Structure 1
Amino acid sequence: MVIIVAWTIATILAGCLICRPFAYNWDKSIPGGSCGDQVTSFTITGVINLVTDVMVLLLPMRPLYQLQMATYKRVTLVAVFGLGTFTCIVSAFRISVLSSMDFTDITYTIPKANIFSGLEPCLAVVLACVPLMHPLLGRSAATPHASGKKKSSNAESKSSGPKAVSDDGFERLDDDTSHLWLKPMGLQHRADESDLQETITGDASEGDQESLHRHRGNIGIAT
């Protein structure tokens, strides 16, 4: 990160200060103005950019290969991270374009350089988002989905025997967690005062209705 930040600052300063005075970058009619070797400057910054891209590409490869998971998963992760190779290829093409630029006719020679300069970060962002697209790709044909079920059924049928150990060195846990499952509480009966009053009013006498209104609020129903 320190190298990339330093490279960014150096690139900005080189692009701004390579011509003296500063306005000579866009106004070549200024008397006494001069510029350094702009082609060499842009080529060097492009080479450093390629080196940092390769460093970012190679840094996670060893930890990914040492992960304790199935081989096909490790190969998949390495392949996904290895897609950054395309960014390095675009960066290499960008260097070749920068080294052939003619700053005396910048409007004619800069379009290709701008295309590669914009394509490189865009492609890098797309490749960085590839791991998040796994749900869209679905389960691959190499995923041992059926074999996993078969192993599970075999483990259940042979619960009295030794625990099955997978190729990764992990054992299947035969924990009985049925007592932790959520269960329905059963049918519940509930009645409020308005329902009770409607039921009683239809068959009760006037005296019973007066008694009901007198003791309103003190009615309890046990279910």
Structure 2
Amino acid sequence: MASTPSAEDLASLPPEYLAVDTHLKLLHTSIAFIVLTTVIYILFNVSRIFCAQRNGWETWVLYPISYLFQLLLGILCILFVRYGGTGRHVEYWLLNNPNTVGNFLKIQTATEFIYVAGVTFPKVCILLMYLNIFVERKVRIATKIAIAVIVTNWIATGIIADFTICQPFAFKWDKSIPGGHCSNLMAAYRWISIPNILTDLAIIFLPFSTLYHLQTTRIRKIGILVTFLTGGLGIMTAILRFVGFFTVDLESDPTYLGVNTQIYTLVEPNAYFICSCLPGMRPLLRRVFGDSVLSNTINRYYHSITSDSKTTQQDLNGICLDVPRGSYKASVSAPRDTLSENIHDDDAALIRTNKSYHVAYSSA
């Protein structure tokens, strides 16, 4: 925090300035995302447990851990309001309860650890989904590199940097410790979003090469691309957080300016988590909507079989070939390294065969 104002400066502040309180914005956002994320996660589990034939280890390990971090972030934001004085100007607390500022800085320290982990785990889940789908060697290597970069960034910035940026560690919230010092905290808050944005771009562009070579209609390619792009929607919140931290000097009035910055810090990882759950909810959507028009639309866009098509073939992994009626030849092929047991039945949107087939369809 910036230098503490003198008693005379505090006494001269107008009552209207000290009465400002915006804590409800953060409180309502926290509750809304706790409810939304919980509902999405429940639907995801229903889809995976009751509607999907197979699930990878990430369903039982990474997704629960990821949800836990989102829940903790929501709870910390509520604690910001209840014990950290978020919403009021820092001068109000310096006049009425100086300990509140220390509570704010303690909760902020905990949030720094949870935020980076909350961003990391959903991204890893999305990229593991890619590995379950992609067969192209270069794309798989690039996906593994992206996972390594994300995990390394978490260890470097979310653990090592958070523990070492202030010496001693307690100086983060207790500025009275003799000889204590911190590096540029605002720079750390601002630039930590850059690795997130870069890895978001990787998540968005990794499927392009595979989709370009996929033998299917343009509309279906767009539908599959939309499925993959849901994993990259977090880039919008990452950019908002990056801009948000650059437009304020948080240290000048942390309890008041912290409302918006904490909202950014809450929304970004929750957006990643929700995006990571959406593709896994397709089996539930198919089960619920059955043969309805909405179901057929979902099936068409997510490359699933439609019940009224006589020219559709599907295997246990949800792979289908759908062609219009007529008389012509179609050739489809894909690289080797196919049909691994780890492939999810509802994630397989690509043709996985090492042979080439010539199929002729004739009118009824």
Q: TM-score, normalised by structure 2?
A: 0.39
Q: CA RMSD in A?
A: 3.2
For the 8 Å contact 1:70–1:168, the answer to whether it is kept is: no
* Alignment partner of 2:240 out of 70, 74, 93: 93
* Alignment partner of 1:25 out of 144, 161, 172: 172
For the 8 Å contact 2:330–2:359, the answer to whether it is kept is: no
For the 8 Å contact 1:19–1:36, the answer to whether it is kept is: yes
Provide, for residues 149-176 of structure 1, a one-character-per-residue CA deviation record: whole Å limited to 9, x for no partner. Answer: 5x79xxxxxxxxxx933666651589xx
Q: Percent identity?
A: 26
Helix, strand or coil at the partner of 1:140: helix
Provide, for residues 96-130 of structure 1, a one-character-per-residue CA deviation record: whole Å limited to 9, x for no partner. Answer: 12232422533222232222222222222222333
Instruction: Within 5 Å, give how 1:69-88 maps onto structure 2.
Output: 69-88=216-235
For the 8 Å contact 2:197–2:238, the answer to whether it is kept is: yes
* Alignment partner of 1:3 out of 149, 154, 157: 149
* Alignment partner of 2:297 out of 98, 120, 140: 140
1:56 aligns with 2:203: yes
Q: Which has the bigger relative contact order, CA under 8 A and spacing at least 6?
A: 2
What corresponds to 1:164 in structure 2? 327
Unmatched runs of 5 consecutive residues or more in structure 2: 1-146, 313-325, 333-357
| Regions of 4+ moved over 6 Å | 144-147
CA distance in 1, matches of 2:250, 2:210: 44
Provide, for residues 2-61 of structure 1, a one-character-per-residue CA deviation record: whole Å limited to 9, x for no partner. Answer: 211111111122222111111101111212222111111122211111111111221112
What corresponds to 1:38 in structure 2? 185
Q: TM-score, normalised by structure 1?
A: 0.61
Q: What's the offset of the Cα at 1:65?
A: 2.8
CA distance in 2, matches of 1:83, 1:57: 9
Go from structure 1 to structure 2 and tell me whether the alpha carbon gap of 1:31 and 1:145 turns closer, same or farther (over 3 Å shift). closer
Helix, strand or coil at the partner of 1:60: helix
Unmatched runs of 5 consecutive residues or more in structure 1: 153-162, 175-223
Helix, strand or coil at the partner of 1:73: helix
CA distance in 1, matches of 2:240, 2:191: 14
